[in-house]
Amino acid sequence: MRAALELAGIRKSFDGFVALDGAAFCAEWGEMHALLGENGAGKSSLMNIAAGLYAPEAGSIRVGGQTARLAGPRDAAALGIGMVHQHFKLVQPFTVAQNILLCNPLSRDAGGFGAKLKRIEGEIRVRAAELGFEIDPLQQVHRLSIAEQQRVEILKVLLAGARILILDEPTAVLTDSEAERLLQTVRRLAQGGAAVILVTHKMADVRAYADRVTVMRAGRTVRTLDPKQTSTDELVKLIVGDAVTPPQRRARLPGEVQLRIRGLQLGILCGIDLEVRAGEIYGLAGVGGNGQPELAEAIMGLAAPSAGEIHLEANGSIAAIPADRYGIALAGALSVAENFAIGEAASGRYGSVWRLRQSSIGATAQAAIGAFNVQGVRSVWQKAALLSGGNAQKLVLAREFSKRPRFVLAHSPSRGLDVRASAEVHERLLAARDDGAAVLLISEDLDEVLSLADRVGVMSRGRIVAELAQPADRQAIGRAMVDHA
């Protein structure tokens, strides 16, 4: 078979973090090719390069056997590459036809807007019928279900001329029946001669629908093989790597339960039961999109559960380290000092809430950023948005741990950080544990969980599907992560 899309020796870094290191991938015409790996393996980054969204620092791209230089998504689209992202890129108040017209070559043809819209509505009806999609081109997008919006995204790239179709985690937000219907549809596209690339972490989808699978780990391409000729255990080992002996842990007497969750339901969460004890780190592993944000939001009080209860016994303060450090943990437009002090503004520590002592806030913040090695702070009154990701996270840690917390929620605390910054975050979590705090670590980084946790839970499809004591079997964790996905 002829190669449709070839990437070789691809390197890409973000703010010093190497996301791709010599990665390679080759999809052929007429096949459905899966790209498998943990979160952070580099799958989406590699496909974003193929779609023209990122520019590689090294390596080559070939489309249909010809060398391609992609200055942006328009260049990729001109070569017949279309990508359907995990987070849809649709204008919600617009109709289906208006959304598709926005990025369709027809929009550059002669004629008035009304005539173009009529023509695209007709094309949508014809192509939707061919694919078995039930889509009304006049319906506003915000009135469509998630599955219907995904069909709109697929129609959008196909009507723009895509013959190389990249689907990023396409079944992550679909029910089993919706996922089956979608995968059968795109499978038919591949059988008709297109190249379909399925970026996923779901083993069952790969084994049922893919002709070949390429496994990535830590920004590198590990291997390409036939999923139907490969055992699940072998694929799991390729995804998560060889078992690593965890560090020796001193014996610890279990403390009192600090966090107790019973029957929690919220969004994808369907009956979470969980206990975290004083003096332990409970690591919750799992591939992203399985309910981790909903669980963290419920514990932090940012979302009200539809059922179940959360009980905190923490006699003292609670520390929260959200995954979204700029969206939730910090207010970028406020100063470093204001972000540090805001949690205790009403406590009286800095005077009346109506007349805060700026000198006291500044001095306390200055001492904290020194103690937590927050770099890049020329003045504590500079905006927090000017801090790098690692130093922004250390500012969050300085604020949260200045209260000597009894319970710590840490959601992806080292995501996007370099080795040194990650090590400092981990040291703070271990110190809190050793000081008697209960720590709930929610992370998609299996190495992070295994290196820090005293007990490990595995989350999949809104449930905790396994719980293991340390030293935990890496392969057993990996199997639980993918078998239930």
Query: What is the pLDDT at residue 242?
Result: 65
* Burial class, 187, CB count within 10 angstroms (exposed 0-12 / middle 13-18 / buried 19+): middle
Give the model confidence (pLDDT) of 98-144 as tens digits: 988 887 766 566 567 778 888 888 889 998 888 888 889 998 988 88
Give the strands of the sheet with 269-277, arranged side by side: 269-277, 257-266, 307-312
Supply the pTM of this predicted model: 0.63
CA distance 256 to 51: 51
CA distance 145 to 187: 22
CA distance 396 to 372: 10
User: Domain locations in the chain?
Assistant: 3-240, 257-317+404-483
Q: Is it true that 3-240 and 257-317+404-483 share their CATH fold?
A: yes
CA distance 341 to 138: 51
CA distance 77 to 43: 20
Residue length of the chain: 485
Q: Is the dihedral of CA 481, 482, 483, 485 positive or negative?
A: positive
DSSP structural state of residue 386: G
Q: What is the average per-residue pLDDT within 62-86?
A: 91
Q: Which residues pair with 315 in a beta bridge?
A: none
Contact yes or no for 48/11 (Cβ under 8 A): no
Mean pLDDT in the chain? Answer: 85
Query: What is the pLDDT at residue 244?
Result: 45
The answer to which of 172-176, 212-216, 225-229, 241-245 has the lowest mean pLDDT is 241-245
Q: Looking at domain 257-317+404-483, which of 2.70.70.10, 3.30.230.10, 3.40.50.300, 3.40.50.1820 is its CATH number?
A: 3.40.50.300
Write down the H helix ranges in 31-175: 43-50, 73-78, 96-102, 113-131, 146-159
Query: What is the pLDDT at residue 419?
Result: 58
Question: CATH class for domain 3-240?
Answer: alpha beta
Query: What is the pLDDT at residue 231?
Result: 87
Percent of the chain whose predicted confidence (pLDDT) is above 70: 90
CA distance 3 to 450: 39
Query: What is the pLDDT at residue 290?
Result: 84
Percent of the chain whose predicted confidence (pLDDT) is above 90: 33
Distances (CA, A) of 33 to 19, 46, 174, 225: 21, 14, 20, 10
